[in-house]
Amino acid sequence: MGLLVLIGVVFATFVRPWYMRWGATSVEALSTLPGDEIVPNAASRETRAITIHASADRVWPWLAQIGQDRGGFYSYDLLENLVGCRMPTTDVLRPAQQTWQLGDRLWMYPPDKAGGIGYATLRAYVPGRALGFGTRMSGTPLSAPENGSWSFTLVPLGDSATRLLVRGRGAPGRSLLGVAFDRSLFEPAHFAMERRMMIGIAQLAEGGSRHRLANHAQVVLWMITFALFLAACAMVLRRRHWVMALAGVGASATVFQILTLRQPPLTVGAFLVAVLIALLWWPRRTVMIDGGGV
């Protein structure tokens, strides 16, 4: 329990502040962006940014067609489709699906599933530059007013580069349980997917590909690492090589955060997972000498 508390403290003190402002400068994090007016008095706020080496006019078509019923979200679609999102898996420009009007819905989950609650509503729109969506934070019923926002802004850097800023804001008044759920589960999971989305948009706008097979392999490594974490916890509880298993709990929790949040190259991730497996299951032989175990 002490180790798990330590992991939580380190996460809250160092990891969370880093991913809440991933890639963003201090000026960008504090600036006012289109869509901020959706939640005027926000209690929580996150701003992330990436430089894309393409003009804003080349980035916008890819950004404008985000959505489950449009071009997808350019993220880990294997993971999205495992939970039934039915995301498109072909990365092509779809001009007919790049137009927006205030009040349009951004679908994140199929409209015919989950009672049709998987959407956000366009509340702020600057053609060619910004999309701002009203959202409902986790646990908020569909009948309640929107209490969150998710916005995308393109800032041109001359004719050959663009800053993509993604901001999320949440209204005050949430329960302690809701805040705890967001900070421990929803926020890091959302960041992992959003970071991959931003990188995916950059890769496509720059004329490359999203390397979907490599993305699939990353997801597999996440699953293996989480399974190793659970196995290490079970070994500690069973007191089976518990000292090494306790080290495995800390190591697997650390590696899981590195793989999901830092998202290193596939070779680095595979090496870290191999080290974890060796740490937990390196052969421990027992040799019998004169009737005694050594």
What value does the mean pLDDT take over residues 172-199?
A: 92
Note the pTM of the prediction, 2 decimals.
Answer: 0.91
The mean pLDDT of the chain is 92
- Which tokens sit at 2? 């002490």
Same-domain pairing of 57 and 133: yes
Asked, for residue 83, whether it belongs to a domain, the answer is: yes
> What would the pLDDT profile of 250-280 be if each residue is shown by its tens digit?
999 999 999 999 999 999 999 999 999 998 8
pLDDT over 90, % of the chain: 79
Confidence (pLDDT) at 283: 55
Same-domain pairing of 241 and 131: no
Confidence (pLDDT) at 285: 47
**Range of weakest confidence among 55-59, 144-148, 255-259:** 144-148
Check whether 92 has a pLDDT greater than 50: yes
Confidence (pLDDT) at 97: 96
Confidence (pLDDT) at 221: 97
Same-domain pairing of 29 and 171: yes
Out of 124, 142, 175, pick the residue that ends a domain: 175
More confidently predicted of 141 and 80: 80
> What would the pLDDT profile of 12-32 be if each residue is shown by its tens digit?
999 999 999 999 999 999 999
> What would the pLDDT profile of 98-114 be if each residue is shown by its tens digit?
999 999 999 999 999 98
What residue numbers bound the domain in which 154 lies?
A: 23-175
> What would the pLDDT profile of 111-128 be if each residue is shown by its tens digit?
999 888 899 999 999 999
Same-domain pairing of 136 and 238: no
**241: pLDDT confidence band, cut at 50, 70 and 90?**
confident
Asked, for residue 114, whether it belongs to a domain, the answer is: yes
Q: How many domains does the chain have?
A: 2
Same-domain pairing of 160 and 228: no
Same-domain pairing of 113 and 247: no
Asked, for residue 32, whether it belongs to a domain, the answer is: yes
Check whether 288 has a pLDDT greater than 50: no
Asked, for residue 185, whether it belongs to a domain, the answer is: no
What value does the mean pLDDT take over residues 158-174?
A: 95
Give the residues across from 256 on adjacent strands: none
Asked, for residue 27, whether it belongs to a domain, the answer is: yes
CA angle, residues 136, 140, 142, in degrees to nearest 5: 75
Confidence (pLDDT) at 284: 54
Same-domain pairing of 37 and 134: yes
Same-domain pairing of 119 and 261: no
- Which tokens sit at 244? 């090494």
**142: pLDDT confidence band, cut at 50, 70 and 90?**
confident
Strand order, beta sheet including 148-156: 44-52, 162-170, 148-156, 130-135, 119-126, 105-107
Check whether 286 has a pLDDT greater than 70: no
Same-domain pairing of 246 and 142: no
Same-domain pairing of 135 and 249: no
Same-domain pairing of 82 and 165: yes
Asked, for residue 44, whether it belongs to a domain, the answer is: yes
What value does the mean pLDDT take over residues 166-177?
A: 92
Asked, for residue 188, whether it belongs to a domain, the answer is: no
Asked, for residue 207, whether it belongs to a domain, the answer is: no
Confidence (pLDDT) at 291: 47
Angle between helices 266-281 and 242-257 (to 10 degrees): 170
Same-domain pairing of 86 and 136: yes
Check whether 54 has a pLDDT greater than 60: yes
Q: What is the CATH number of the domain that holds 139?
A: 3.30.530
